[in-house]
A and B are shown apart, each in its own frame.
Chain A
Amino acid sequence: MTALRITQGAAATRLLGVGSHQPERVVTNDDLSKIMDTTDEWIRERVGIRERRFAAKDELLVDMAVIAGSKALADAGLAPSDVDTVILANCTMPTPIPNGAAQVADRIGVKAAGAFDLNAACAGFCYALNTASDLVRAGSARRVLVIGAEKLTDWVEPTDRANAIIFADGAGAAVVGPAETPGIGPVVWGSAGDLVDMIYMRDDRWIYQEGQSVFRWATTQIAPIALRALEVAGLQPSDVDVLIPHQANLRIVEAIAKRLRAKGAREDMVVADDIVHSGNTSSASIPMAMDHMRAAGRVKPGDVALLIGFGAGLSYAGQAVICP
């Protein structure tokens, strides 16, 4: 039998750069209270959001992805030709065909890129990050641009007081490439398809969530997965400098942080609270939070960050990374 030659990739990978983009239009809680039965106080108490960004009608998911992706490349000091693969995590493209990744790659200037969309909803970025890392380690890709971008406002009923206050638009991106020492830890990922009815599109159109059930799942089941992600990377909870959970709801973020601290995470561990000014941007929230926190000086290069995404599917994925 003829044996095939196979590729040999990098021994390890790391994040080379990050970037993000938000639409211009800021929407406050008071703005929302004019079109639905809600108040600033109610929203801040339930989900911790003060304001979020909504994309204009003509600003598309791929437009936001292009800007975030270009910024991540610039941050890494790389040209588009240094990347050969683009993964676009998202769950809110306007139509299923065509995918977004090929257009994004072309517009950024990555010629003939391997390009595909990845849908693991709010866990999408962590799924895509691991996929990118494995592609580089296997030799299928040299460097990968990983983007999470969403236009959730296309899929939320504008006066739905349960969801329109939470979801928003934006994009975040990271470049993954080879490294001498590992900067992206092994993923812990999984799904619970039996709980699919907790988050879905009602009448095939609008996002619907079983709020209490999602809250219970996220506040009890996600911290143990985050702890396992540390364990497989050979880390202790006390090693974590920055915790970046998917920005679903500030109370979920705080509940996860509390459970990690009960297991030894430090009191001075920085906890991402980007949702306060960005809302829930699904697959974009983790890279966007990392980028914003770094710009604010709350995250430094070399910090150990614990990423954990979770959402519809249900699906979840987490890994430890070294911040670029």
Chain B
Amino acid sequence: MADKPSDEKILEGLAEIVEEVAGVSPDDVTPEKSFVDDLDIDSLSMVEIAVQAEDKFGVKIPDDELANLKTVGDAVKYVSAHV
């Protein structure tokens, strides 16, 4: 089994996904940012981000869990705990 990715690696990977899905600059994707309020990402884009994150990190992010991922930091923590 591959080594578990560091939080920095997960953040970097998430930033790439957020850029591809929503056109947000990776520099803006920092842990304290709220997806909805700061990055202006809507609920359907969140699903696209979740689907791509599942493929990239090999985790499952069900819709009811997705609702709890308010900030980029929440998502990094979730992926890190489930990878």
Contact = CB atoms under 8 A, between A and B. Distances in A.
Interface of A: 45-46, 210-213, 215-216, 219-220, 251, 255
Give the interface size class of chain B: 10 to 19
A212 B42 contact: no
Given A212-B43, A212-B47, 14 more contacts: A46-B42, A46-B44, A210-B63, A211-B43, A212-B44, A212-B63, A213-B63, A216-B47, A216-B51, A216-B63, A219-B47, A220-B51, A251-B44, A255-B48
Contacts of A212: 43-44, 46-47, 63, 66
Contacts of A255: 48
A221 to B, nearest CB: 11
Contacts, number: 25
Contacts of B47: 212, 215-216, 219
Most buried by B among A45, A212, A220, A255: A212
18 contacts: A45-B42, A46-B42, A46-B44, A210-B63, A211-B43, A211-B44, A212-B44, A212-B46, A212-B66, A213-B63, A215-B44, A215-B47, A216-B50, A216-B63, A219-B48, A219-B51, A220-B51, A251-B44
Nearest to A220: B51
Contacts of A210: 63
Interface in B39-66: 42-44, 46-48, 50-51, 63, 66
